[in-house]
Chain A
Amino acid sequence: MSVATETPVAGIADAHKAGDWLLIATAVLLCVWVLLPIYLLIVNALSSPDQVTAFPKRFFPSFDLGSLSFFINFAGVARALWNSVIVATLTMILAIGFGAPAGYALSRFDFPGKGTFRFLVLMTRAFPLPLLALPLAVMFIRTGLDDTAIGLALVHTTLALPFAVLITFSLFSGIPVELEEAAWTLGCTRWQAFRKVILPLALPGIAASAVFAFTISWNEVFAAAVLTIENRTLTAFLLQSLGESPLYLKFAGGAALVVPALIFIFAVRKYLFAMWGIANR
């Protein structure tokens, strides 16, 4: 009796263990894929210029600020950094300015074409930017938006808008409509109810969407490289000087781009998870 039941159970357990190992191996591989470039970036950004160009490469940063100081003082970097900040801030304002009302409308109102609208908003992400870049550049030159912060911010807003709409949509949907109705019975107009009841509750989430929009714009390379010439953002600047610049400059520049983005995304991960439907503590 015991012999007959042992073998099939053992067989299943073996299969489980093999499956577990596969899962662990895949997870480790993915983590290395993502973390290795960031690790290399940080190590080399915090090492002196000589250590970066030397071979073999170091494993630990020497915490020498030589590379970073070279980076900051390099001609044009400070201005490029400033341009990135301006464009990202404009993107943030526009994305939230258009996205939050859209999210509210989607969550509170029923209108014809609602499903199609949501679908279209999502589908804008499906457009390959390189395809649009050249026609955009031509149109920008014609309308005089070329090489301006606002022109680039408009393109970045288009990239960030789907996220802004969907995050705020899930945010507002999570706030019961009864709270607004109660406010209406207590003397509020629709706008007052929004300002006094919904906004305080939604503010953390809206701030998160704003930060996310900022990050999308901060890291965007292609449109920035195509649409700005004199007033380059940091991403475009680094791309342009990629051929001639020394290795340690590239690492320092990379770190300057990646680290703020990492910090921002980490800070707002709760809201991104909610949008993507993962339960989170």
Chain B
Amino acid sequence: MAEIAIKGVAKRFGGFTALHQVDLTIADQEFMVLLGASGCGKTTLLRIVAGLERPSQGEVWIGGRRVDHLPPRERGIAMVFQNYAVFPHLTVFENIAFGLRMKKLPQQEVERRVNRTAELMHIEQLLKRYSGQLSGGQRQRVAVARALAMEPDVILMDEPLSNLDALLRLEMRAELKGVLAASKTTTIYVTHDQVEAMSLADRIAVMHQGRIVQSASPVEVYRNPAARFVGSFIGNPPMNFIPATKAENGSWTVAGLTLSGPKSDKPRIEFAIRPEDVDAGGEGLRATVRVIEPLGPHTLVTCDVEGGLFRAILDSNASVQVGDDLRLAPKPDRIRWFDPETANAL
């Protein structure tokens, strides 16, 4: 059993607070993705779980054991680094075998495990080479194989795909998902790429400025963002945000449309809807078309709504022209409301 519990972990570097009292529980064999922009603290949190940094406060538990005072080698983890950290003075075989030799496993077992993981990562033919003779993608596979060969309770991955070109990233993402699911290991994966997060995760923890803003399944994070940041960060094209003013009887007015909304004392709140959740025509928001981008499967229309930018994804058959006045009807169950000050969902 390798569930991970992060309790009240905070990390300060001098005057700068990288993590503010973070709490997170990861179930056994769960694939958790820490998602966020650069500087949000996701790598720091991963390194604290790995034991490469000590938290200023808080506890880390792995598999029911408290580990925050233990060095990395005693935590039952294996890590894949962003720059792979493949040892240049050893062959691929010796790289993958490194951790196994440190555990003093018998030669037969070492060979069995190395060959098995090399086959899994499709690098059996490279075992006698040195890392200087490998491409970036091949080195990345060696790094993953090296971690998998350890058969750890927990695998930690720090943006392993970010140094690969786009096509390779796509292929490796699918491969990684298959390999990690089959290995039944608890995984923590750090990335800034929201597509990677959506595709790989059982659960996503969205981080912003040292805090976890929301941690839920990919679909949940996409449909019910708990904060404005989550809504704007996930989804391409991004979510639209329009100010809404209070009307009578608990309704709100947005761009000429009156809707029933949440109860709030504030005179103005934010209305949010995703570009694919509006339909042209009918009772809708008043919009003036500015840019039309026919993308093939659908058309991306950028409009002026209440003076602000609004993106809508319409059917590719929709006949719109620049300068048209449109009515964009939002699907009622997909509307989200946010508090303008706290940025939380209402």
Contact = CB atoms under 8 A, between A and B. Distances in A.
- Greatest chain B CB density within 10 A among A186, A192, A197, A200 is at A186
B117 to A, nearest CB: 14
- Greatest chain B CB density within 10 A among A182, A189, A201 is at A182
B89 A201 contact: yes
A186 B102 contact: yes
Given A178-B83, A184-B72, A200-B89, 7 more contacts: A178-B85, A181-B81, A182-B85, A184-B71, A187-B99, A187-B102, A188-B73
A27 to B, nearest CB: 36
Interface string B86-101: 0111000000001100
A277 interface: no
A172 B324 CA distance: 65
A113 interface: no
Interface string B61-87: 000000000011100011101010101
A7 interface: no
B52 interface: yes
Contacts of A183: 87, 98
A192 B73 CA distance: 12
7 contacts: A179-B85, A182-B79, A186-B102, A187-B73, A187-B99, A187-B103, A188-B102
A166 B81 CA distance: 29
A188 B73 CA distance: 7
Interface residues on B, range: 20 to 34
- Greatest chain B CB density within 10 A among A178, A181, A187, A201 is at A187
Interface in A174-228: 176, 178-179, 181-189, 192, 197, 200-201
Interface string B40-75: 000000000011100000000000000000011100
Is the contact region of chain A dominated by helix, strand, or loop, or is it mixed?
helix
B150 interface: yes
Contacts of B102: 186-188, 192
Contacts of A188: 73, 102
Interface in B173-200: none
Given A184-B71, A185-B50, A186-B146, A201 B81 contact: no
B157 to A, nearest CB: 12
A181 B71 contact: no
A178 B81 contact: yes
Interface of A: 176, 178-179, 181-189, 192, 197, 200-201
A2 B72 CA distance: 74
Contact of B78 (A179, A181, A186): A186
Interface string B139-156: 000000010001000000
Nearest to B102: A187
A181 B98 CA distance: 13
B79 A189 contact: no
B52 A184 contact: yes
Contacts of B51: 184-185
Given A187-B103, A200-B89, A176 B52 contact: no
A182 B81 contact: yes
B206 to A, nearest CB: 26
Given A186-B146, A187-B103, A176 B73 contact: no
A146 to B, nearest CB: 46
A179 B79 contact: no
A181 B79 CA distance: 9
B342 to A, nearest CB: 38
A201 to B, nearest CB: 6
Nearest to A190: B71
Contacts of A186: 73, 78, 98-99, 102, 146, 150
Contact of B87 (A185, A189, A197): A197
A182 B72 CA distance: 10
Ranked nearest first, the 6 interchain pairs of A and B with the lowest CB-CB distance are A187-B102, A186-B99, A182-B85, A178-B85, A185-B79, A184-B72
